[in-house]
Amino acid sequence: MPTSTLELLRISATTAPAPGVRVVPTITKLVDTTTCIGCKACEVACQEWNDLPPETTVQMGTYQTLPDMTANVWNLIRFREHEDNGALSWLMRKDQCMHCADPGCLAACPAPGAIVQYTNGIVDFQQDQCIGCGYCMTGCPFDVPKFHPKTRRVYKCTMCVDRVSVGLQPACVKACPTSCLQFGTKDAMLEIANARVAQLHANGITHAAVYDPQGVGGTSVVTVLAHGDRPELYGLPRDPTIPVAVRVWKGPLKWIGNLAMVGGLLGVLVHYVRFGRKDHQQSVAGDQSKQ
Amino acid sequence: MSGGGRVVRYVFRERVLHALTALSYVYLLLTGLAFWTPGLYWVAAVLGGGYLTRLLHPWVGLVFSGVLLWMFLTWRRDMRITPEDRAWRRAMRHYIRNEDAQVPPAARFNFGQKQLFWLMVIGGLALLLSGLVLWFVASIPWQLRILRDAAILVHVVAALATIGGFIIHLYMGLAVVPEGLHAIVHGDVSEEWARHHHALWLERGQPARVPPATMPATKNDATSRG
């Protein structure tokens, strides 16, 4: 829901530059996993604000609502038990779209305007333009976009772009009772995150770190992890990037392919001008003269 | 030899299966190009919109795979690479330059046609397998995402390879080889043509003759084409 086309930074599958010229600060959602109590208020707030049909929960033997996000569940608190030298810890992580600065979904998308990125950093799917090919699912390094089998289109967190564009914070942040979720400019959120990490270090949690992966240009969802040295414990990739296959496909392969196809057409044109049509009358005569 | 007669080059079944592969391939090519580059997305709009195009592409792909299998079963014997093809391959530059007198005689299909056939069969198989992964990408577990990545690259490379073959095939059939289009549409060629392009086939295969009285119109049509 763009408030203005002046805030469109990137548009999928376009042949023209995006029109965004308005300079706005990059917004960011901060997730401090060390203060998450697993209450799921954010999950409920997300369902309610976006008015999404409820999904039947699955008893997984943990505090997790569902095994994975779905086309109707864009926000899932992932829960893992982790044991380290006899010390048990509950690791909770907010799984949602990370809103990458360099979004793999957008790079892979073949449908013009189905995925856009706003100048404030929000990556948003426009389902009316989506053709349901699922390439975004291959482009995403976080396994976020989810295919809806009925509409045959793909869905994910919008960062409550409708709220943010009128100056409100995302619904999940609004609902969070522990301020584990905070919302503001990227600079402000990184400052808070770094201060929190320093505090955790001082308290003996020496591996605490900020997760803002640079392989995708940084993300608009920044996470403070107690085990910052091992993001895999939370189910986060250590160094996410747009898959090599997608980069090759949309980069060199595209140019090689286009050149080859145009070259092939030019080649047959040149052949026709130079050699033209076969004339079997003539060469049959040649055959006979040989005999 | 009189040279005035006509012989059957493709029976009805062969022409039908060729037409089906041609139609389905062209649809797949056009819609595939629409997804390949935004500059050609308008093709999808012309063919019913991006959503419908995406919906139909895999189904038409199954049709193409099916008729390609049928074509494979029909022509695989004629398409077997023989020692005679080696001599033909060495003389290919003469064939390209239309110096056909210096090209060894070919059987039912020449080496170039055989290459196209095998390119399409192998390429078609690669497109089918990678296409199934792309079709059901939501069912490929995240742990097996290497399959998703591989499918994208295989689908693109196989498609580009078949497009190369298709461009040459279409050009040759329409513009270079006289009677080429007539043969694949109506099935008959002149004996003279057969002796020139597929002498071994005419000698050994002994194709059925077309009684002159049955196809006067097409005969004239074909002669004027030649």
For residues B173 and B212, the model is more confident at: B173
pLDDT confidence of residue A4: 81
The mean pLDDT value for B116-121 works out to 98
The stretch B131-158 carries a mean pLDDT of 96
Q: Is A245 on the interface with B (CB under 8 A)?
A: yes
Q: Which of B132, B108, B126 is closest to B201 using CA atoms?
A: B108
Residue B10 has pLDDT above 50, yes or no: yes
- Predicted confidence band at B205 (pLDDT cuts at 50, 70, 90)? confident
Q: What are phi and psi of A117, to 5 degrees?
A: -125, 130
**pLDDT(B4) > 80:** no
B189 half-sphere exposure, CB direction, 13 A CA radius: 24
Q: Out of A29-43, A166-180, B70-84, B209-223, pick the least confident.
A: B209-223
DSSP A200-237: HHHTT-TT-EEE--GGGT-BSEEEEESSTT-GGGGT--
Are B167 and A134 an interchain contact pair (Cβ–Cβ within 8 Å)? no
Q: What's the gap in Å between the CA of B92 and the closest CA on chain A?
A: 14
Chain A contact present for B141, CB below 8 A: no
Which pLDDT belongs to residue A84?
A: 86
The per-residue pLDDT of chain B, averaged, comes to 91
- In this predicted model, which residue has the larger pLDDT, A284 or B96? B96
Q: Over chain A (291 residues), what is each successive 10-residue block's mean pLDDT?
A: 81 94 95 95 97 93 94 96 90 97 98 97 97 97 97 98 95 97 98 98 96 98 96 95 97 97 97 90 47 35
Report how many Cβ contacts below 8 Å link chain A to chain B: 131
Q: If residue A193 lies in a helix (H) or strand (E), which one and from where to where?
A: helix A186-202
Name the pLDDT band for B215 (thresholds 50, 70, 90): low
List the Cα angle A94/A50/A11 in 5-degree steps. Answer: 80
With residue A164 as reference, give the H or E element that holds it: helix A161-164
CB contact (8 A) between residue A134 and residue B134: yes
For B168-204, write each residue's pLDDT tens digit.
999 999 999 999 999 999 999 999 999 999 999 999 8
Q: Inform me whether the pLDDT recorded for B226 exceeds 70.
A: no
Partner residue facing A13 (CB), from B41, B137, B148: B41
How many residues make up chain B in this entry?
226
Contact B153 A281 (CB under 8 A): no
**Using 50, 70 and 90 to split pLDDT, how confident is the model at B206?**
confident
- Which pLDDT score, from 0 to 100, does residue B221 have? 46
The span from the CA of B110 to the CA of B99, in Å, is 15
The answer, for B213 touching chain A at a CB cutoff of 8 Å, is no
- For residues B1 and B164, which has the higher predicted lDDT (pLDDT)? B164
pTM: 0.91
Q: What is the pLDDT of residue B207?
A: 84
**The pLDDT of residue B222:** 43
Q: Is the dihedral of CA B55, B36, B29, B225 positive or negative?
A: positive
State the best of B143, B196, B203 to mutate against chain A, taking most chain A CBs within 10 Å. Answer: B196
Of B172, B197, B101, B111, give the one whose Cα is nearest residue A271. Answer: B172
Q: Contact, A197 vs A160, CB < 8 A?
A: no
Q: Are the beta carbons of A268 and B54 separated by less than 8 Å?
A: no
DSSP conformational letter for B172? I
A243 vs A115: CA distance, rounded Å: 18
Cβ of A278 within 8 Å of Cβ of B145? The answer is no
